[in-house]
Amino acid sequence: MPSATANPYLEKTAPIGDKMSGWQIHKYRGISSLKFSNEIPIPKISSPTEILIEVHTSSVNPLDVMMMDGYGSKVLNLLRWKTENTEFPLTLGFDFYGVVKGKGNGVSKAFQIGDKVYGVSLPQIAGCHAEYVVVDQIYLRHKPEQLTDIEAGGLLYAGLTAWSSFYIWGLLGGLHGATTSQGGGKGKSVCILGASGGVGTIAVQMMKAENVNVTATCSTSAIPLVQSLGADNIIDYTKPNATEQFRGLTFDIILDSAGQGPAYAAKVPWQFGEYITLFPPLLRSIDSNGIVLGSLESLNSLLNENLEMLSKHKGFIMWGIFTPAPQGIDYLTKLAKEDKLKPIIDSVFEFKDMKAAYQKVIKGHLRGKVIVKIKEQN
């Protein structure tokens, strides 16, 4: 007979306690709000398809840093309304590698206790900068053997940002057909601004796996790295004549992971099908003006930017937004298994040094991903 307090969704769990260590914020005050605690309740499986994972590695992303100042808080609170989760304390962290420690009674037999998995977590439910995280099985895959534990902790957030930019938000730009990881992008051309960062280094590899012609921008010191990823043409944005080097070039898609924005898209003498900015004003505008007014304001600015592009005979401006789609996770996993995609690692930090990892992201000039080792590797 199950006890009155037994979790009705749980199939089984490995023997673990009920408290864990992790890093959390209790208010929106930047890095000073990030605090360590070893008294955090281990998140509970609260639906049949959820899985409890012991987190071994995770990455720190610019979004974690922005969320410490309240970025996106209005929308996250809206997403929480049907859950028991409160705004604070908030555990950040979007992607991880770890080991299955518990499963709900509706979880596929494909996942068993002890399996090595990697996935994405959603901080409005539970972030992964802690010893344990619970995620739905749709956000989880077995770790490809081709990735080290460190690499697996840093692929999916940046990878899904690049994937959704190209294949969801980028459909107007004409990359359909290049989605098979069979080299279907022959004859297509993309430009990746910020090719040396977490998203950019993955975006270059994804597009080269599809035989897309890649032009990439980065600073002088990052040229050897971006070259090693296979970029066909590299433009050093720090040189005075950088924008002139785009004259006469036409791209199906430009992915802006360097924060240049629509004004830059209008100014540079290039042509494009679609310019996808990873800096949409939507969440910031909602934070300041509320859901309705904030959404209307940012949609209005998107409309005006597109009217300006139309008058200049350029392509569409579109927002790129991280989307944790299972198809994207499958796609990235397939590329990793084919040895066509590996996250570039900028630096690795110990769990106790989480703040230093956040500081590294704040300082910028990253060459790939910042990773935190949450549990010592076996």
* Interface pick for ligand NAP out of 2, 15, 248, 364 (rule CB under 6 A): 364
Q: Taking contact as CB under 6 A, which single stretch among the options 104-112, 132-140, 217-225, 246-254 is the one that binds ligand NAP?
A: 217-225
Q: How far is the CB of 107 from ligand NAP (least distance, A)?
A: 28
Q: Where does residue 248 rank: exposed (0-12), middle (13-18), buried (19+ CB within 10 A)?
A: exposed
Distances (CA, A) of 267 to 172, 246, 247, 264, 309: 21, 11, 11, 5, 10
Judged by beta carbon, residue 63 or residue 341, the one nearer ligand NAP is: 63
User: How far is the C-alpha of 139 from the C-alpha of 376, rounded, in Å?
Assistant: 24
* Interface pick for ligand NAP out of 257, 285, 298, 333 (rule CB under 6 A): 257
Q: How far is the CB of 227 from ligand NAP (least distance, A)?
A: 14
Q: How far is the CB of 370 from ligand NAP (least distance, A)?
A: 8
Give, as one character, the DSSP assignment of residue 197: B
Q: Is 92 in the site for ligand NAP (CB under 6 A)?
A: no
Contact 282, 319 (CB under 8 A): yes
Q: Taking contact as CB under 6 A, which single stretch among the options 97-105, 144-152, 305-313, 364-372 is the one that binds ligand NAP?
A: 364-372
Q: Taking contact as CB under 6 A, which single stretch among the options 76-84, 132-140, 167-175, 197-205 is the one that binds ligand NAP?
A: 197-205
Q: How far is the CB of 113 from ligand NAP (least distance, A)?
A: 32
Judged by beta carbon, residue 52 or residue 202, the one nearer ligand NAP is: 202
For residue 140, the cross-strand partners are: 119
Nearest to residue 318, comparing CAs of 175, 158, 194? Answer: 175
User: How far is the C-alpha of 339 from the C-alpha of 69, rounded, in Å?
Assistant: 37
Q: Is 321 in the site for ligand NAP (CB under 6 A)?
A: yes
The secondary structure of 94-158, three-state, reads CEEEEEEEEEECCCCCCCCCCCEEEEECCCCCCCCCECEEEEEHHHEEECCCCCCHHHHCCCHHH
Pairing relationship of beta strands 19-25 and 34-41 according to DSSP bridges:
antiparallel
| Two structure tokens written together for 214 | 């890649």
Amino acid at 366: L
Q: Is 218 in the site for ligand NAP (CB under 6 A)?
A: yes
Q: Is 161 in the site for ligand NAP (CB under 6 A)?
A: yes
Q: Is 203 in the site for ligand NAP (CB under 6 A)?
A: no
Q: Is 229 in the site for ligand NAP (CB under 6 A)?
A: no
Judged by beta carbon, residue 107 or residue 196, the one nearer ligand NAP is: 196
Judged by beta carbon, residue 45 or residue 158, the one nearer ligand NAP is: 158
Provide the angle, in degrees to the nearest 10, between the axes of the packed helices 156-164 and 198-209: 60
Give CA angle at 368 (21, 174), nearest 5°. 115
Q: How far is the CB of 62 from ligand NAP (least distance, A)?
A: 4
Contact 73, 92 (CB under 8 A): no
Q: How far is the CB of 157 from ligand NAP (least distance, A)?
A: 7
Residues 261-300 that bind ligand NAP (CB under 6 A): 278, 280
Judged by beta carbon, residue 40 or residue 152, the one nearer ligand NAP is: 152
- Give me the residues that bind ligand NAP (CB under 6 A), please: 61-63, 158, 161, 193-194, 196-200, 217-219, 237, 257-260, 278, 280, 320-322, 364-366
